[in-house]
Structure formats: C-alpha cells, structure tokens
Structure 1
Amino acid sequence: MRCMTPGSDRRIFYGDMLAALALATLLALVWSVRDWHQLAALRLTDTDDAMRLQQIRDWLAGQSFFDLSQHRLAGGMPMHWSRLPDLVPAGLILALTPMLGRHGAELAAVIAWPTMLFATALLLAARVTRQLAPDMGSVAVIVMALAYPATTVFLPGRIDHHNFQIVLLLATALALVRPATWRSGSITGIAAVASVAIGLEMLPLLVAAGVWLAIAWIRAQPGADRRIRGYAVSLAAGLLVAGFGLRSDQWGYPACDAFTVTFFRAAIAAAGGAAGIALCARLTPSPLPRALIAIGCGGVATACAVAAAPQCLSPYGEIDPVLAHLWLTRVGEAQPLAAAPLATIIGQAGLMLAGIGAAAWQWRRTRDDRWSALLLLQVTALGVTLLQMRGAHLGAPLAVPALAATIGAARRRNAHWALAIWPAAAGIVYPLAAQALPDPTQARAGSAPPVASCTTPEALAAIAALPPGTIMAPLDPGPYILAASAHRVIAAPYHRNNAGNRASYDFFLGSPPAAQAVARRWHADYVLLCDDSLAELTPAEQPKDAMLTRLRDRRPPAWLVPIEMRSAGVHIWRVR
C-alpha cells in the first residue's frame, strides 16, 4: 500500500470532494433542464416527494415540529415519517425566500438538497474505495454517478428520505473499512440511530453491520475492543437522545413501522446486546469464549426485543386485508425480485450482483477482511431485494468500491481488461441492456394508446382552481393534490391510512348506492378519476355496475354533477 502523509491525504480528500461536487452539480443541471416543465411547477417525481414538500410547508406555516400528521388527509392521518429529512430543505426555503420569493425558494431547495446529498454520496463512495484501493477513488466517483437504480433517488426534486438513507449507508460502510477505533465504532452507531430515526428500510443492513463488528470482536482483530465499545455507547446514547429529541406526537402509535415507542423498546433491547459485548470486551482474548459471549448477548437481546415489541415481527400486520390485496401487494418497489420480469431483474439488480461478484473476488484475492464487511452488507441488500425490490437502491452504491477496485486490478494487468470491466461497473448499462429483452407486461398491454395522467402540472392547476373541498379519488393522486392545492383528500398511498384508503376502494368498486353512502360518510365534495387510475385492477376485480366502470363509461349516477375540465386526463364530478 502506498504510504500517505497527512498533507497528501488532505489533498486527495479535497480533490475527491471537488470532483464529487462538480459531477453532482453537472448532472443536477442536466437533469433539471430535462425535467424543467415538471420541476418549475413543483410537480415532483414521486408521491413521497410531494408529500414531503407539503409536510415541510405545514411545519413552516406553524404546525408543531413534533406533529407529523397530515391534517388534510382523511381528517388527520399520522405519518410514519421523521423531521430529520425536513431540516435542510426547510432551512433553505427560509433562507432563500427573501431573495427568491416562496415559490423560487422551494424550487431552489428541491433542486439543491438532492444535489448536496448526491455530492456527499459520491465523496463517500470515493473514500470507501480509497481505504481498499487507494488509487481508485476518482474511478469510484464516476462509477457511483452511474450506479443505477440508486442514482434515481438523487434526481432534482427527490427530497424524500431514501437518498439520505443511502448517504448514511455509505457512511456506515466507510466506518467499517476504516481502522478499528472508538471513533469508527461510534460513527457506525450514530449512523444507525440516524437511519432508524428517519425510517426502517435500512434496518437489515444496520443489523448486518453490527453482526460484522461482533465477528471482528470474536476474532480479536486489532482495535476491535475499542470499536465495539464506541459502537455500543453511541448506539445506546443516540437512541436515548433520539427518543427524547425526535419523539413526535405520533410516538405512541401502536406499530413498528417507524421510530415509535414500540420500535424504540425493541431497539433499546437490541442495543443491550452490543452493550453486553462491550462490557465483556476485556474478559478474554480467546475466540471461543468470545463467541459464546456474543451468542449469549445477542440471543438475550433478541428475546427481549421480541418480548418488548412483538409488533415488530409484522410491522404491516394492521393493514386492511382488502388493501393488502388490491394495493400494497402491487406496489412496484414492494414486489419480490423473483416476481418481476427478467428485464426488470437485470435493470434493478444487475449492478448489485456484479458488485457481489467483484467483492467476493477481491476478498479471495487480497484476504483483506474489510472486503468481507462490504460483502456482508451487499449480500444483505440482495436478501432485502429478493423480498422487496426497493433493496436494489441500497445494493447498488455498495457495489461501487469493489467494482472500482476491480477496474484498477484489471488496469494493472492489461488496459484491455479494464475496458472490458467498465460496462459491468456502469449501472446505467443494465436497464439499457434489459430493453432488448421482451417485456411480458407490455405484451399484455398490447397496442393500447397512452392515457393522460391527472397529476401533470396542467391537470393539477385545473384541480387547484376549483373551490377548496374534500376529494374522493384513487390513492396515487392524493399527495400531488395536497401539494398543489388547498383541497383535502380521503386517500393516499400510505399504509397507516387504512380507513381512507379502504373508503376509496369501497367507493370506486361499489355500486352507486353503496358509493353514495361512502361519499356522504366522508363528506366528499368532489369525485376525481384519472384516465390512468386503478389500471392495475384485473377485470374480475371490477364489477360491471361498479362506480369505476360507470365513471369510465361516462355514466355517472344522478347525484354526481360533471365539472368541465380544460386539462386532458382529468374527470371530476361535484357531489350533490
């Protein structure tokens, strides 16, 4: 390994930082120009981004920092989110409003915040790679910039928490491959606390990181005692601080789907396992007794966590079975990988699989245990992806260090080998290559013409022009309507909204008399249907006399009065 002086290391760090910032800014500019029509109207990419923007607006308008309910959704729906991802965008909006006006400040914030996170992710990927392959940091910046599908969560407008989670994941990976010290252990613990305070999507990978620290301690690796103590202290202290400082008004919600008191009990019990190992760190240097201690502490901690919060065994167990069947099991990112077409599997998981192969080869070639840390995280991300495809967003950035290092190894052997490996390391290649494969979903769709959406900027402007009221609509338009207008909505794609979402399906799949009863019970003023609404339902799930069928055929019952809309794709009726 090349000898590094403090001065040269600083120069390399600043060089990586400059490269990351320049590349992130350039790509953000290109993406912003491409999507300007949508961005300029603050019609953000995803429903969660739209809802996040509205949550920030509500906070800046006076809603309590600790109140995470959306009061214009289903009469007041407790969100399973955190204030942490709101802090920087809200600060940017406050700082820029005097100069740019409110709309301009919001536009600048939704572009700047993902760009800042993207630059941080590029820099962290370079730093992880330099720990393992010192000359390949610059290559890692490029590979990370191409790391589809992870790059999609850094697009301008992506202000929801998934990009923040990827940054914390890369920070965890960096702490694992750095020299074993109290500091590296504490960084791992702090990143874990910040991650679970934001959301629980990364929990399996955080557990894997803790397991790897325990294995390193069992093997009595140099510095492992100090690192496990730093991890245990920061994890326990961080959870306590977060439990008091980030305790929302929804803290007592009886589910394990967010940083609630239920999850907090389980997390404290699990942190007790790390604390037990830390307390026993100096008792013996022998692997066998250490293994028994780790297994004992882990087993007791797991049992205590299950006893303290059995809901965590089924975090979505309270969802309505009808909603689980008609909606949640059809959410794209919640699908198991094996259920997807081959083209989707290649596009979503191709880079992750290439990264696992590269990391395994690097571990075998170098016998460097730090590669095993990354490999364990990657395999865990693959396991998550096999259950839910959203795991691919976590696996892609973890593939970057191994692929960059493999390019370096190939370059030292033969320049032609490096050129051959580059396509495998460029994540954007996989979805492009997958387009050459037949897509059975498109084949089933046949040659049906495309339909207009009612969440375009023009459609949302037309909806916003109506007098404020309560809208009965399918789930997906809900967040966009909230962010673009003063209307209230009954349904939105969030699993806690059992009553409102069930009401939406009961309305559209029910008979006219049943639908009228639902509309009256929820005090609906308008009914909204888009040309692309509920397209995922099979013909057998749409009764012939259902409201959905009648409204599509423009045969509304007498208690619905059509409202003429200027925007294509939007059909709205006033409830008498």
Structure 2
Amino acid sequence: MPEKVQDRYWGDLGVALLLAGLLTLAWSVQGWANLSTLRLPDTDDVVRLQQIRDWLSGQDFGDLAQHRLGAVPGLEMHWSRLPDLVPAGLIYILSPLLGAHAAELAAVILWPASLFAAALALVAGIARALGVSAPLAALVAALAYPATTLFVPGRIDHHGLQMVLLLVTARVAIGGRSLAAGAAGGVATAASLAIGIETAPLLAVGGAVVVIRWAIDGREGQGRLAGYAVGLVLALAAASVALRTSGWGWPGCDGFTAELWRAAQFAALAPLALAILGFAAPSVRVRSIATAIVGVAAASGALALSPGCLQPYGQVDPLLAELWLANVAEAQPLVGAPLSHAIGYAGLMLAGLAAGAWVWRRTRDSRWLALLALQLTALGLTLVQLRGAYAGALLAPPALAALIVAARTRGVLALIPAWLVSAGLLYPIAGAALAPRGPAAPSGADCTGPAALGRLAALPPGTLMAPIDMGAFALGATPHRVIAAPYHRGDAGNQAMLRFFLGPVANAPMLAREWKIDYVALCPGDFDMLGAQAAEAARLSGALRRGTPPAWLRQISPPGEAPVVFAVERVNGEPRL
C-alpha cells in the first residue's frame, strides 16, 4: 500500500474512532440507568446476551436452541453463532478480571462501538473512492438516523454487524479493483448470509455491480471479480461446516439453513464461471451476453433448489400480526407507517438518493450509479419494511457530503439547507413535529425495567406466561422458562399466549395445565390495541385487569406494582378451579 494511501486509511480510521468514541460515551451516560443493570435496548439484544451466556456456560457451539423458551426442549432460533464471537470473547477474557456483570457490561458497550467505528471508516472509504471528503462523510454518517440506533451501547444483536459487512461489499463494488479487494467483498457477502437473510437483496445487487463493472471494464475488473467469486464460494463452503447449527435442517430460509446455503452456494457459481470465462471474452458484447445467460441460470437454479427463499419467514398468524408486528415500527411498510415514522426512518435515505442522482448527473461517473443501485434497493426494501432504511441511511452520506462541499462554494444560504437535509437526527424531530397531534398517550408502567424484572427474578424458578415482549426480557433477566417471545419460529407458544389471555376464562386452566404454567404476568397496558375487547370480563385479560382473577390464580405482587404477577394455585398438580 503506497504511503499516502496508507496515511489516508489511518486518518479515516482515526476520525471514525473519535466520532464513535464520543457518541458511545454520550449514549452510555444518557442510558446508564438501564445499561448498568444490563436492561438492553431491544428484545433481540437481551436474548442474544442470554444465548452468549448459555454458550459460555457449556451449551454446544452449534446448539442455538433457546432451551427456556416455548415447549420443552426449547425453541430452535434462526440466528447464527457468528455475531456471538466477539462479545463472547470479551466476556470470557474480562470475567476473571472484572467479574461476570462488569465483563458483560463492557462487552455490550465495546462491541457496538467497534462496529460503529468500522461503519464510519467504511463510509469514509466509500466517499474517498468517489472523490468526496472522507472526514465529512464520516461525520454525516455519525448523525445518520435511524442507522445510528443499531450501534448504541447494548445493541449486540446481528444487525449492526450486517450493516458493516454490507458496507464492505459496497466499498469493493464501488472502488476496489484488486484480487484482494474482491476476495474481501466475497467473504463479507458470505459472512452476512451466514448471519441472516435480511440484507440478501442488497448483497445480490452488490455482487451484480461487481459483475456488471467487469462486463463493461473487462481486464480492469477481472481481478476484482475473480477475488469476489473465489472468496464467496470458499467462504460459503467453510460456513456450511463451521457455522452449521442444530437448526441446519429447518424447513425454511429464515436463517443460515441448508436451504439458504444451497441457494447461495449455487448462485455463487455464477461470478466464478464468469471470472473463468473472462480470460476468453475479449469484448463487452460477449461479456454482457454471458452475464445475462449465467445470471438467469443462477437465479433460476437457486430458486429451484430452495423455493422457500422467496418467502423466508412464512406466514405469521393474523392475530399475532395485528397485536405484535403491527406495533413494531421497523416492520411496517413505508406507505402504511404513521407519518412521523415514515419521515424519521426514510427522510435521510431519500435525501441521499436525491443527492446521489444530482452528483451523477453532474459527473456521469459510473461509480455513483453503482452506489445509486444500492440506494434504490434499500428504498425498495423500505417500501416493504421500514428496516430497509438502516442500510439506506448508511449509504446516503457520501452523496450528502458531496452536496455540502458544493454548497460551500455558494455561501451560507446554500450551506445551511445542505447541512439540514444531511443531518439524519433531524428527521425524527421533523416527523414528530409534522405528524397530526392526537391526545397524549398515558405514560405506561415500566414492566421490563430493572426493578420489575428483579422482582420476577426473585421468584423460585418456574414457567412464566407473559405477553411477547415481556417474555423476551424475562428470558434474559430471570431463571424462568417463558412461553412467548417475539420470534416467528415460536408461533405455537405465541398463539398459546394469545389464547390464554384473550380467550374465555374457562379455557385458561386447560392451557395452564398443557404448558405447565407456574406464573402469570400482565402489564396494565397489554393488549390496549384491542380497545374495549381486552377488558371484556369474559376474557382472562379482562378479569385480570378488573382485579377479579379466577380462584386458581393468586396475586403475589403487591398492589400497585407492575407487572401484576400471579401464581398458579394447584391441587394434586392441577390448577385449582
């Protein structure tokens, strides 16, 4: 690596580390009350930490079942062990020095901060490859809501790592030309697929950009394509051995299963075949025809081998979709989302798209088209689910940095609007200000806070029936088995939870017996989305809300505490009627 290039690389990394460190410190101070007790930001973070604890306590590396979730022997998770490696390593190394709690606390702060620094450095690298100020792009990325929420302290789930791997692929597709750069892109693509399928469309477009640039550039793109193809094929093969889980044979494409691997491994043969063909394909026309033929064959073959990948998460029960998914902001389609969410999530991405189109019109540089292809894919994903905006926000800073640089030459009147549209953290504020104002929602009880979970943890170990989100937090903070949690593979337990709370009071003892329930917990605001239905006296939820539980449920939480917790009273092992 030439000395000047090396200096720029280290300079970009230094800026990224500085920004990530300062923001991580600020976020840690702001959220210390919850963070210090390991009350992590999201249910997935909580369950991820529990998965790491189970592994460090002796659970097999390939066993990703959560054995205290759902019916015995537990629920086979759709996750990967790959995102566990670094936080688990930190906990393992630091525990003898700091103690278990402090080691876990250090891990859940350091791991997202490291990923954030990596993401900012990669954005800076993409910007530099496009001829844009790298430090400025890193600064814009540091403010790039909603993507920044993936890197706050406690966010140890896999989405932050997937964004970093996507940025590696984007960096290679846009700027890298060497064999080594291509190999890095192929390995990153394979690693992301081994984690989950969420970013698969973006990864596919990144790979397509590598192939198309080879078809156009010929020998200049040969090394990159060859490295990408070999890296992808070999990394997928290695992952199928090293990261094969106990759920490898799961009949679906929702994680790194045999079905997903077959499709990915077959599709990976396409760039490999084209890279070999490249030595005998001297013209753009021949390479373009070969690309079209091989691409169609790869896509057709992959889907024929793994048709389940067209609908990786299957069908969610309609009632679960209404009561659970409809209230998950990032799972809503862009058009159907509340205005405040739509602006907050998609605002920066749309600004980045507009800026990218503007820069391309000025420069006619094909590398900007490559970035625009990825941005448009992120927009397409966002139209289906708002979570696509995470990638869209991280892909926007290079174009927005170019906009700011251009605005500097036109004075303050142009510079201020350029910064306003580039500051991602302003979009959720604008969304909240522009959204129609309704009556203020009453402040609900904190049923998953440290105090509430501590009271649940103090109970003798048993089986807990609680609504979906409370179940996930209880899994990580208590010794209890929980029936329901926000995971699509747990459909049986989640439906049982709904039948238990929302069904007739007379049916609840049968479910309590079937699922061997010891405790029942309900938060005052649970099922509020059903309106008056949730409070109907004939439903168990209504009876519990009214303070008239059936005789076989004895309230064991003091009056006024949330959640309200009941113990199942039994006679000869059966709920007392």
Range into which the TM-score falls when normalised by the shorter chain = over 0.9
1:319 Cα deviation after fit: 4.0
Q: Does 1:105 align with 2:103?
A: yes
On the 8 A contact 2:270/2:298 being kept in 1, the answer is yes
Q: Does 1:403 align with 2:400?
A: yes
Identity of aligned residues (%): 51
Other structure's SS at 1:80 match: coil
On the 8 A contact 2:466/2:522 being kept in 1, the answer is yes
On the 8 A contact 1:265/1:309 being kept in 2, the answer is yes
The range that moved more, 246-255 or 310-319, is 310-319
The one-letter amino acid of 1:387's match is V
Whole-angstrom CA distance in 1 between matches of 2:146 and 2:304 = 37
Q: CA RMSD in A?
A: 1.8
**1:28-427 matches, cutoff 5 A:** 28-74=24-70, 75=72, 76-134=74-132, 136-317=133-314, 319-414=316-411, 416-427=413-424
1:416 Cα deviation after fit: 4.4
Superposition TM-score, scaled by structure 2 size: 0.95
Label 1:562 to 1:27 Cα distance change in 2 as closer, same or farther (>3 A).
Answer: same
1:132 Cα deviation after fit: 1.3
Whole-angstrom CA distance in 1 between matches of 2:16 and 2:449 = 33
Match of 1:477 among 470, 479, 483: 470
The one-letter amino acid of 1:124's match is L
1:413 Cα deviation after fit: 4.7
1:97 Cα deviation after fit: 1.1
On the 8 A contact 2:331/2:387 being kept in 1, the answer is yes
Whole-angstrom CA distance in 2 between matches of 1:565 and 1:55 = 32
2:433 corresponding residue in structure 1: 436
Other structure's SS at 2:452 match: helix
Other structure's SS at 2:499 match: helix
Label 1:538 to 1:186 Cα distance change in 2 as closer, same or farther (>3 A).
Answer: farther
* Number of matched pairs: 567
Label 1:326 to 1:436 Cα distance change in 2 as closer, same or farther (>3 A).
Answer: closer
1:21 corresponding residue in structure 2: 17
On the 8 A contact 1:132/1:405 being kept in 2, the answer is no
On the 8 A contact 2:535/2:545 being kept in 1, the answer is no
1:545 corresponding residue in structure 2: 538
1:214 Cα deviation after fit: 2.2
Whole-angstrom CA distance in 2 between matches of 1:106 and 1:566 = 34
Other structure's SS at 2:278 match: coil
Whole-angstrom CA distance in 1 between matches of 2:181 and 2:241 = 25
1:513 Cα deviation after fit: 1.8
1:539 Cα deviation after fit: 4.1
Whole-angstrom CA distance in 2 between matches of 1:389 and 1:567 = 37
Whole-angstrom CA distance in 2 between matches of 1:109 and 1:358 = 37
Match of 1:490 among 483, 492, 496: 483
2:575 corresponding residue in structure 1: none
Other structure's SS at 1:452 match: coil
1:101-139 C-alpha deviation (Å, 9 max, x unpaired):
1111111111111111111111111111111125x1111
On the 8 A contact 2:471/2:484 being kept in 1, the answer is yes
On the 8 A contact 2:130/2:175 being kept in 1, the answer is no
1:459 corresponding residue in structure 2: 452
Label 1:318 to 1:437 Cα distance change in 2 as closer, same or farther (>3 A).
Answer: closer
Other structure's SS at 1:280 match: helix
On the 8 A contact 1:458/1:567 being kept in 2, the answer is no
On the 8 A contact 2:218/2:284 being kept in 1, the answer is no
Whole-angstrom CA distance in 2 between matches of 1:518 and 1:386 = 39
Label 1:47 to 1:567 Cα distance change in 2 as closer, same or farther (>3 A).
Answer: farther
Label 1:125 to 1:529 Cα distance change in 2 as closer, same or farther (>3 A).
Answer: same
1:410 Cα deviation after fit: 2.4
2:572 corresponding residue in structure 1: none
Other structure's SS at 1:496 match: helix
1:307-328 C-alpha deviation (Å, 9 max, x unpaired):
1111112112254454344433
Other structure's SS at 1:572 match: strand
1:527 corresponding residue in structure 2: 520
On the 8 A contact 1:220/1:286 being kept in 2, the answer is no
1:564 corresponding residue in structure 2: 557
Whole-angstrom CA distance in 2 between matches of 1:10 and 1:207 = 30
Match of 1:11 among 3, 7, 20: 7
On the 8 A contact 2:351/2:421 being kept in 1, the answer is yes
Whole-angstrom CA distance in 2 between matches of 1:131 and 1:92 = 33
The one-letter amino acid of 1:216's match is R
On the 8 A contact 2:183/2:227 being kept in 1, the answer is yes
1:342-378 C-alpha deviation (Å, 9 max, x unpaired):
2221111010001011111111111111111111000
On the 8 A contact 1:220/1:285 being kept in 2, the answer is no
On the 8 A contact 1:454/1:568 being kept in 2, the answer is no
Whole-angstrom CA distance in 2 between matches of 1:275 and 1:321 = 43
The one-letter amino acid of 1:122's match is L
The one-letter amino acid of 2:206's match is A
On the 8 A contact 2:407/2:415 being kept in 1, the answer is yes
Other structure's SS at 1:381 match: helix
The one-letter amino acid of 2:269's match is G
On the 8 A contact 1:180/1:222 being kept in 2, the answer is no
Superposition TM-score, scaled by structure 1 size: 0.95
Whole-angstrom CA distance in 2 between matches of 1:418 and 1:8 = 30
Whole-angstrom CA distance in 2 between matches of 1:542 and 1:311 = 40
1:63 Cα deviation after fit: 0.4
Other structure's SS at 2:566 match: strand
Whole-angstrom CA distance in 1 between matches of 2:291 and 2:558 = 65
Other structure's SS at 2:378 match: helix
The one-letter amino acid of 2:60's match is S
